[in-house]
Structure formats: structure tokens, C-alpha cells
Amino acid sequence: MLSISEFSEMCCLSPQTLRFYHSEGLLVPAGVDERTGYRSYLFGQVEQAMLITVLRRAGMSVKTVRRALEEPNERLPLLDQHSEEVQRRRRDQDEAIDEARRFFDAWPQPRLRRVPATTVAAKPVSTPLIGNDQDDWDEVGAAVTATVAELAETAESCGAVVSGTPWRTWVDATPELRSLTSEGLYWSVEVPVAADGQAIAALSDEVEVHDFAARDELSIFIPGRDSMEKYSTALARLAGHPLDAAYIDVSRMRFVLHDGGIETAAAIRRLDGTGGTSEEW
């Protein structure tokens, strides 16, 4: 039998770590003195300690290590699953590092612009409510991206050409949308198109087609994946930007889908209720 100090030295694991592994059921001592509480180990337990150390160094959780020890046939599948998760976290970290560099290179600033009139092909999409959970925002992004691709394919099949950057915007729920889900958000995914009358007629048979009126906008581009904190930041920066006798109309916001980020844009209204021109700002 080996004392905990001897076993600790042999396995390069501190006594505190061995006590933790004991409490978690990963490495149970061969014996525990009822009077003193001293733990003792068998020489053969060194191999189990080694396996635990290898898996923990790989970043595997205590819960997963315990399962790997209890279910030898599942060890390789568990390791493969853990490896995929590690790769995903690394990709997320690399993305976050690139995102941080983009912020520091050019901190996002609101900009005023005149948006020209255009024709758009649109399709309604219903998604779950979004909050602080990044998965919810990613789900919205995936649904919108798939719809953009569908609209672009439909437009091209009808002889139209995608002529600008697509966007999504909130819409009031129609009965058709409400039938998709009892609770959620309702979007209109919109793709600018250029087409002759014949192509527009053909496209109108497949999806909604309408005119987007020219307007003045205040917008800000936030790089990276969309999230609650980025949306809140964009809204705060837009709301805090000084305008002369005008305000942003948050009921007419749109989210322009650039590669590498989202541009949040709000229509500008003058205090007298009319729209301005970009030259006035």
C-alpha cells in the first residue's frame, strides 16, 4: 500500500487533487483509515491515475472522464466528441480574436447616408424569440441566410438579378406567420433585385415583390456574429448620435447582412414628420 504522499509523488498529482478525484469518484483510494482519514493506494492504481491525467490535460470534464472510466467501450467515441468540441471552441476563439482586432483597428461609428429606391424580393420568416443565448441568435442567422439563398435562386430563375446587399426587418405577424409558431419573432427577408417587367411578373408569382422607397438612414456596422450585446450597442450608438431637428425611427429599422457582420440601420425622420435628404446632415 502507498500513502497519499507516496502515491502523489509517483503520479505527479498533488494530495489536494487526489482528494478531489476521490470526492468525484474518479480515483477512489484502496483504503481509508476510519480513525485518521488517511488515504492509501495500490501500486496498480497508478495506471488509472495516468489515464485520468491524460484525459484531464486534454481538457475533458470530470463528468466525461468519469464516464470514460466507467464505460471503456465508449472511450474513443467520447474522445472524438470532446475533440470536436475543442475544435469548435478554438474556431470560436479565433473568430473572437479576429473580431476584437477589427474593433480596435476601426471602432464602429454611426454614419448618415441616402439609400436609393429599389425593388426587392421578400419572404416572411418566423424564428424563436431571441435573448442572451447566442444559440438563439445563430438560429435566426441560419434561417435568414437560408432564406436569402432561396430568394436569390428564385430571382435568378425568373430572369432577375440580385442587385444589392440583402437585409432582414421586423414585421407585424400575419395569420400565416402565426400559424408557423405560437410564439416568436417575425421577419421579412428582403433581397434587392433588378429586372424587366416580364421578370418582375414571373418573380411576383413566386414570392412577394415590392418597392423599397428611398430614404435617409443612420446606420452602424458591428463586425462578427450577431448577439444581444451587439444589437444593444448598435441601438445605443444610433440613439445617442446627434441629429439636427430629427430622430431615428426605430419602427423602420433594418439589419443589412454583410459578410463578417451586421449593419443596423434606422430611417431618419424630421421633427416636422417629413423625411430629410442626406445633403441636409
Per-residue model confidence as pLDDT tens digits over 179-204: 455 567 789 999 999 999 999 999 99
Q: What is the DSSP string of 111-175?
A: EEEEEPPEEEEEEEEEE---SS-HHHHHHHHHHHHHHHHHHHHHHHHTT-EE-S--EEEE-PPPH
- Cβ(38)–Cβ(9) under 8 Å? no
Q: Which pLDDT band, with edges at 50, 70 and 90, does 171 fall under?
A: confident
The C-alpha R_g of the chain, in whole angstroms, comes to 29
Tell whether domain 111-280 is in CATH 3.10.180.10: no
Please tell me the predicted confidence (pLDDT) of residue 252.
87
| Res. 104: pLDDT tops 50 | yes
Please tell me the predicted confidence (pLDDT) of residue 176.
53
Q: What share of the chain is helix, strand, coil (3-state, %, to 5)?
A: 45, 25, 30
CATH number at 2-77: 1.10.1660.10
Share of the chain above pLDDT 70, in %: 93
Mean pLDDT confidence for 25-42: 92
Q: Which pLDDT band, with edges at 50, 70 and 90, does 281 fall under?
A: very low
| Res. 233: pLDDT tops 90 | yes
Please tell me the predicted confidence (pLDDT) of residue 129.
76
Mean pLDDT confidence for 256-275: 87
Phi and psi at residue 27, in whole multiples of 5°? -140, 90
How many angstroms separate the Cα of 100 from the Cα of each of 40, 89, 97, 182, 232? 50, 16, 5, 38, 17
| Res. 279: pLDDT tops 90 | no
- Cβ(68)–Cβ(60) under 8 Å? yes
* Same CATH fold assignment for domains 2-77 and 111-280: no
Q: What pLDDT digit, counting tens, does each position of 64-92 carry?
A: 999 999 999 999 999 999 999 999 999 98
The residue ranges of every structural domain in the chain are 2-77, 111-280
Q: What pLDDT digit, counting tens, does each position of 199-227 carry?
A: 999 999 999 999 999 999 999 999 998 99
| Res. 134: pLDDT tops 90 | no
Query: How far does the chain reach from its first CA to its final CA, in angstroms?
Result: 83
- Cβ(27)–Cβ(49) under 8 Å? yes
How many angstroms separate the Cα of 96 from the Cα of each of 76, 99, 225? 30, 5, 9
> Average pLDDT, whole number, for the chain?
89
Closest among 187, 153, 155 to 168, alpha carbons compared: 187
Mean pLDDT confidence for 52-61: 94
- Cβ(36)–Cβ(3) under 8 Å? no
Share of the chain above pLDDT 90, in %: 76
159-163, 235-239, 254-258, 276-280: range with lowest mean pLDDT: 276-280
What is d(CA 271, CA 280) in angstroms, rounded to the nearest whole number? 14
Q: Which three cell numbers stand for residue 174?
A: 400575419
Please tell me the predicted confidence (pLDDT) of residue 275.
56
Beta bridge partners of 121: 191, 209
Please tell me the predicted confidence (pLDDT) of residue 276.
47
Residue partners of 125: CB distance under 8 A and separation at least 6: 143, 144, 147, 168, 186, 187, 188, 189
Closest among 213, 235, 27, 41 to 119, alpha carbons compared: 213
Helices and strands per DSSP (H, E), number in the chain: 9, 12
Q: Which pLDDT band, with edges at 50, 70 and 90, does 274 fall under?
A: low
Q: Which pLDDT band, with edges at 50, 70 and 90, does 166 fall under?
A: very high
